[in-house]
Structure formats: C-alpha cells, structure tokens
Chains A and B, each alone.
Chain A
Amino acid sequence: MLGDWLPFLIYGLMALAIPASLLFMSFALAQRPARRTRARALPFESGVSRGPMKEQRFTVSFYLTAMLFIVFDIEIVFLYPLAVQLHALGWFGFAEFGVFILILLVAYVYIWRKGALDW
C-alpha cells in the first residue's frame, strides 16, 4: 500500500530540496565580511541612523487589521476539503458551505459598516 505513495514522497523531498539548497548555498558560499564595522550592525535608516532602533510600540490598529486578515483568510482553508469532496457531498455540501459563507458575509458587512477596514 505504501508503494503508491512513493512518487509523492520523492516529489516532497525534491520540493524540500529547493529551499534547503537556497539556504545552504547562501550561507556556505557567502563571503564573510572582512571587518565587523560598527556601521554594519546599525539598522539601515536611509543612511542617517544613529543607534540601534529603540523599542517603539505599534498602534493597536495594526493588530486589528491582522486579526481581520486571519478571520477572512482561514476561511479559504476550509474551502479546500469541500473542493476535494464536492462530488461526494453533492448539493448538501454546497448548501452547507453556502451557510458558512453567508455567516462570514454578515461579519464582513458588519466590520465594513463599523469602519474597521478604512484606516
């Protein structure tokens, strides 16, 4: 039984090899800087950075936007199993997910009206 999974394994390994080789080559073949100059450790701030970046708080609106993205992005993950099993589930699956999408639409209209989307 395991045999027919072999091509998938080989394909997975090859897919894994590409990022691994990128990482390895850029690490192994890179030229080490000759002298650790102080300026290299500084953050790049268009050429006028004085010291390491001091701790700065981010406003909450970034966090809000991130949360909204997660809510609406994970929704797509749930669509994958539906797509794979669409024939098996037939109309029942379609209706089921219609309700799922509908609920998310209500959420979308709510946050749109609340103004969470515009900055």
Chain B
Amino acid sequence: MTISPERPRARRWPIVGEPVYEGSRIPHPIPTVLAVPDDVSDSEDIFRINFGPNHPSTHGVLRLIVDLDGEEVVGLSAVIGYLHTGFEKTMETKTYWKCVTYPERIDYVAYQANELVFVLAVEKLLALEVPEKATWMRMLLCELNRIHSHLVYLGTSALELGAISMFWYCFREREQILDLFELVAGQRMHTRYFQVGGLAEDIPEGFYPECRKFVEWMPQALDDYLAILDRNQIWLERTKGVGLLSARDAIALGQTGPNLRASGVDWDLRREQPYLAYEQVDFRVPVYPDGDVYARYRVRMDEMAESTRIARQCLDRLERMEGRPWIADDRKVVLPPREELHTSMESLIHHFKIVTEGFRVPEGEVYVAVESPRGESGCYLVSDGGPKPWRVHFRAPSFVALEATPTCAQNCLVADLIAVVGSLDAVMGDTDR
C-alpha cells in the first residue's frame, strides 16, 4: 500500500505499481456490454436472469441482465433509467435561487458535493468572491459528507457480503454526522446550506464542540471497522482478486475517485486542481495498485481517516474566524440582511428584484469539477444572461462507474457480481439524473 506524499512529485504518468493484467479487458464491440462468447452462446445452458430494478443488492433501481453458465457470469449488460428524474430539464425552468435545491437530490448520498459543484459553477460565471469563512465551512461539510457517504457504502456493501453487523456500526457513526448537519442546517439530508455567494446561515455556536467530539471519536470507530473486517477471512476471500480493473482500463473507461485510485492511478482533484482551500490543508491520497474490490474498500477506509484529518484542520481554522462574514455582500446576487430592509431603499429594491425575478448570471458556459466521494462530480452550466440557467449538465461519477461493471465482472461468479457492483459504489440517482 503506498500513500503518495502531500505535494505531487514530478512524474510523467501517475500510475503506481505494476499493472493488474496485461492488455485491455474492455468488451470489444460494445464497451459496456459483456457479450456471451460464441462457443457457449448456442448451448441452452445459458441462464438469463434479471438483477432487476427491485433487487436487494443493487443499490437502488439498477437492472443488470446477466447470462449465467452455471454459477459463472458470461454475459452482462446494464439497463438504467428507472430513476430518471429529468433534473436538467426541470432546472432550466427555475431561477438560480430555486435551482440550488435540485442538485442535492441527484447524488442523494453525497449531497453536499453536488450542491457545492453547482454553487461553484454559478459563482465562477458571476466571478463572485466568497468570504473565507464560507469556503472553510463548505470544505468541512463536504468532508463530513464524504465520511457519511463512505459509511453508507461500507455499511451496505459489507451487509451484502454477509458482514451484517457492519451495517449497524456504520449507521451509528452516520447518525452522529447527520446530527451535525441537523445542528448546522436544520435538516439531516439535503441541507441546502450552501448559497450562491457563501452560506445560507451563520454557523450556530454549539457546532464547534459537537464537531470536535465527532472528529475525536471517528478514528477509533475506524479502527473498530478495521478490527472487524480487515482480518476477517471470509471478507478477504470474497474481496481479494475479485472485479479486477487495470489502470489503463480505468482511465479509458473514465473512472474517477476511489475506483481510479484503487486501480493504481494517483489522481485526486483536491490535490491536482485544488478548489475551495484544499491547498492550505495537509492530507494524503491513498493509492492501491491491486484494482480489486479489496483495494476499493481500502481506499475508502483510508479516505475516511484522511477526511477526519481535514475536518480537524478546518475546525481549527474556523474557530479562529468568529464574527467574520459568512456570505458575500454583492447586493445584485445576495439577499440583503433583514434589518437593513427597514432602513435603506436600495436594499428593499434589491431584495424585491432578487426574490421576484431572480439574480442574473452573465452569459457564458463553464465546467467546474469537484472531488465528490464517488469521483469527479462536474457541473456544465450555460447561461444566456437571464435569471434561469439555459443548460445544466451534471457529470455523474456513478454513471461512469456502472460502465465499468462488464469489465470488472468478467469470469466472476454470481456472488462476486454483488461484491463488484457494491464496490463500484454507484448511486442510482446520480446515474439516471
């Protein structure tokens, strides 16, 4: 296991370790459909089953059409779209103020990352300066959300491979994180706490000690998980060497995030293209060269430890920023504070304009990418200068992760297919948008 140092060292190619397998295993004619090999396909032994929309092990409504030769998976193709919610069409009819609520529901496990990517895209078009306190608080909440997302991954995928007690351990820590979100924003999930220009509210005073308590407790909880799983012979048997994905295939299939780092590619947007304040934070990027289900599990476990470290550093900085502005004061975009409405006429006009018609975003197109727990979550925003976005498109890491299922599921058993789909950690809302 190699952890690359904080600062990127000069290298031409970020691949770590020797390749998992030679050449490429991506199915030939159609990269995302594993066709049944000809010598077997005519015999009637091929048993086609539906890992259908309502299946306990597919996270959400993914449907896999699997051709089995006995227990072995010989053919695989994914059918998605059972949760297609038409986000992009709906957001074209809403003003920017209302649009901020929609991205959270796209990847509903890593909701802060989606909210952040949309808000950053709008701020980039507006060229709006966000105060430092808001930047650091956004980073803290995104790291907490990363731990939350990895806990949901660990709980459910361990549950499917038989380690049922992991589900209750992980959801115990997850409840603590949701309490923090509730304390800050009033709601457990989909907090809508990020606003174009900063934060929706100031940070309540009880938040810092509570968050400090969680950050102190988390490393010990992580050690509990490792104690349960890491030397568990069944877990190792079910995850090592299953669902192989080499670095070249991962790049060709556009994998990002933990799936990419588990295949030996040393790439993390928080360090390569720092956004928010990630360049002032010291953290390490776990990279594993094995490219199997165990490597992805290890990458996510180490990422949780790193996120706790980042959260601790954010807390130290935030506690020194008492009383600083938490939202920009550009009146054309940000609502003026309430008390100011009673005194100044301009604030009243600005308030009225923003509320009725919505603030305008100058014309242009922009693509912002953020390291969400599942990979690079991007937002391509086109604006025609009006109050409503002209075109919004979210780059979904889960959409791309599912493209790798046929490559990873080659010559594995049906039971391993569950481990592979669980390890790719695809959330169906993110896939179907």
Contact = CB atoms under 8 A, between A and B. Distances in A.
A48 B64 CA distance: 11
Contact of A47 (B52, B69, B72): B52
A61 B49 CA distance: 18
A56 B50 contact: no
B412 to A, nearest CB: 11
B282 to A, nearest CB: 47
A59 B69 CA distance: 7
A45 interface: yes
B44 A119 contact: no
A42 B12 CA distance: 58
Contacts of B387: none
A50 to B, nearest CB: 10
Contact of A48 (B45, B50, B72, B413): B50
Nearest to B55: A46
Interface in B29-51: 44-45, 47, 49-51
A77 to B, nearest CB: 28
A62 interface: yes
Interface string A37-56: 00000000111110000001
B273 interface: no
A62 B71 CA distance: 9
A114 interface: no
Contacts of B45: 57-59
B53 interface: yes
B4 interface: no
Contact of A59 (B51, B55, B63, B70): B70
A35 B55 CA distance: 26
B93 interface: no
Greatest chain A CB density within 10 A among B53, B55, B70 is at B70
Contacts of A119: 70-72, 413
A46 to B, nearest CB: 2
A59 B72 CA distance: 11
A80 B382 CA distance: 78
| Size category, B interface | 10 to 19
A108 B46 CA distance: 30
Contacts of A45: 49-50, 52
Contact of B70 (A46, A47, A61): A61
B54 interface: yes
B347 to A, nearest CB: 54
A56 B47 contact: yes
Contacts of A59: 45, 69-70
Contact of A46 (B53, B71, B72, B413): B53
Nearest to B56: A46
B71 A48 contact: no
A62 B70 contact: yes
B53 A47 contact: yes
A47 B44 contact: no
A107 to B, nearest CB: 23
A48 B81 CA distance: 14
B44 A46 contact: no
A52 to B, nearest CB: 15
A48 B63 CA distance: 9
Contacts of B54: 46-47
Nearest to A55: B44
A24 B63 CA distance: 38
B75 to A, nearest CB: 14
B45 to A, nearest CB: 5
A65 to B, nearest CB: 10
Contacts of A62: 70
B82 to A, nearest CB: 9
Interface in A85-117: none
A78 to B, nearest CB: 31
Contacts of B53: 46-48
Nearest to B61: A47
A46 B54 CA distance: 5
Interface in B141-193: none
Nearest to A45: B50
Contacts of A48: 50, 52-53, 63
A115 B47 CA distance: 24
Contacts of A46: 50-55, 63
Contacts of A61: 70-71
A58 B49 CA distance: 13
B395 to A, nearest CB: 29
Interface of B: 44-45, 47, 49-55, 63, 69-72, 413
Given A46-B51, A119-B72, 14 more contacts: A45-B50, A45-B52, A46-B53, A46-B55, A47-B52, A48-B53, A48-B63, A56-B44, A57-B45, A58-B45, A58-B47, A58-B70, A59-B45, A62-B70
Top 7 A-B pairs ranked by shortest CB distance?
Answer: A46-B52, A59-B70, A47-B54, A48-B52, A61-B70, A46-B55, A46-B54
8 contacts: A45-B52, A46-B51, A46-B54, A46-B63, A48-B63, A56-B47, A57-B44, A62-B70
